[in-house]
Structure formats: structure tokens, C-alpha cells
Amino acid sequence: MESFVVTWWMWMLLGLALLLCEILTPGGFYVLFFGAGALVVGALNLLGISFGLAGDGLVFAVVSVAALVLFRKPLTQRFRNLTPQLPVDNLAGESCVAAEDIPAEGRGKVELRGTAWNACNLGTEPIPRAARCRVERVDGLCLYVRAE
């Protein structure tokens, strides 16, 4: 019976396929190192260094896991530092319109930027429907408002 032989170009194709998978999936930088491991084994085989299928599989696993342990954390930190930190849109100070009567220190609905929001009236006077109010702070999906 003939044994299955994995040639250098098969390892290279596996490595390129794994690198492609890393590009096509949301980044976590995991598959990248297994692709690099397959490319290393393919390069070794191309240079005439082969350990048989089991040995090549072991080299693939060791190189991949070692690269993952050594390089993943610095790589993710580097890319995190390159990503600009955009300020979160702050709604405090925005003007909105009461979509319904909001009792004093009670809850109701307001409309802001074309969207209905839950609102808490911080004032001691009720806010009538269609009255303008000012957002003082945001907590989750609730706007804390006061009549203008």
C-alpha cells in the first residue's frame, strides 16, 4: 500500500489558505500563526528538510503555537494603538421635543434626532407634549431632561 506524501507545495497552499482565512474573518490574530507555521514547514520541505508526515505535523504544531504565544499579544497591542479612538457622541446639551406629557420628576418619551427616547424629567414642573427640553445627561437609553 502506498503512503500519502505531503509535498512542500501542499504545505504552502495550506499556509496561504490559512492566511486568507485570517484576512476574511474578524481579527483575532489566531489563524495567522497557523498559516505561518504551515509556510515554515513548506519552506523546510522545499529546502529538503523533511521529517515525514508525523514529524512535519509536529513541527507545524510547535511553530504555530510558539508563534501564537510569543507574537499575538504584541501584535494585537500594536494594532489597538494604531486604531484611532473616536469620541463617543454626547447628547448632553442637545435640544429635544416631548412626545407626550412628562410629569414632574417622572418618566415619558421625547424625540431627539428623529428617534424616540425614554426620558426622565429632572424638573419640578411637568413638561407638556411638544414642548422643548434640554438633555442634561444620558444613562443607558434614558435621557435626563429639563424644560427649556
Can you spell out the DSSP letters for 109-136?
EEEETTEEEEEEE-SSS-B-TT-EEEEE
Q: Are 41 and 60 in contact (CB under 8 A)?
A: yes
Could you tell me if 66 and 105 are in contact, meaning their C-beta atoms sit under 8 angstroms apart?
Answer: no
Model confidence, pTM: 0.56
The grid coordinates listed for 114 are: 428623529
Q: Measure the CA–CA gap between 61 and 66, rounded to whole angstroms.
A: 8
* Ordered per-residue pLDDT tens for the chain, 148 residues: 456 778 999 999 999 999 999 999 877 888 999 999 999 999 999 999 999 889 999 999 999 999 999 999 998 888 877 767 656 568 889 999 999 999 999 999 999 999 999 999 999 999 999 999 999 999 888 999 999 8
* Residue ranges of domains in the chain, CATH in brackets: 8-82 (no CATH), 95-147 (2.40.50.140)
Q: Which amino acid is at 22?
A: E
